[in-house]
Amino acid sequence: MSQIQNITLFMALVWVLILTPGPDLFFVLSKGIAQGKKAGLLSALGITLGIMAHTLMAAVGLSEILRTSAMAFTLVKILGACYLIYIGVKMIGSKPSPIPNKVVQVPHGKIMLQGFLSNTLNPKVALFFLAFIPQFIDSGAGEVSPFPFLILGSLFALSSMLFLLILGYFSGSMGHYLETKRRTMAWTTKISGCLMVLLGIKLVCTHPS
């Protein structure tokens, strides 16, 4: 735990990201709207398992980089901060996507697998984990361990699961609300993008060149 820094900032940003409309949110909404609460809940669990898979991969890879070279890890953090700025700029200029209201019916047994694969096989999610989590790890805090990465990733996954389960359960009404509040969705995404850009700039400026 001594290697983890700015945990309050981390959790605040996690919830900003979770509440920002994105592929995971729309996946859960579309399944819940098309096939009911059970489908929404199963899709939320599948996505959570995908997030945990990314957490494990990031923990192993990043802890190995840190073990090999503190300088290389610092470079990863700087590049990651730049990537966060890039994501933020894209979010600021993006337009809200419509919520799908016609989805092919899928057996409940396959919905969780679909959620897992949609998250795990998304390279943008992997890149985000590699960019985001290292910003909250102190590479000079002593013995190298994958546990700080696992802890932060697990907090991200559990927070996402909590929100997505609630979203899946109330998917019908939530989907209708978001569809009728497209301006709210757009501003939420732009504000989140601004926060990502500010975080990236802060992190770049606080790292040695």
Task: Convert the pLDDT of each residue in 2-48 to its tens digit.
Answer: 578 888 888 988 888 888 877 788 888 878 877 788 888 999 999 99
Residue 159, pLDDT > 90, answer: yes
Spatial distance between the Cα atoms of 47 and 55, rounded to a whole number of angstroms: 12
pTM of the predicted model as reported, rounded to 2 decimal places: 0.75
Is pLDDT of 172 > 80? no
- Domain coordinates in residue numbering, the chain: 7-206
Q: Is residue 208's pLDDT more than 50?
A: no
Decide if pLDDT at 142 tops 60.
Answer: no
More confident position, 202 or 17: 17
Q: Are 29 and 167 in contact, with CB atoms under 8 Å apart?
A: yes
What pLDDT is stored for residue 3 in this prediction? 77
Comparing 79 with 101, the larger pLDDT belongs to 79
Measured distance CA(149)–CA(130) in Å, rounded = 10
H/E element holding 74? Answer: helix 70-93
Contact by Cβ (8 Å): 137, 149: yes
- At 139 the pLDDT is 65
Backbone angles phi, psi at 137, to 5 degrees: -115, 130
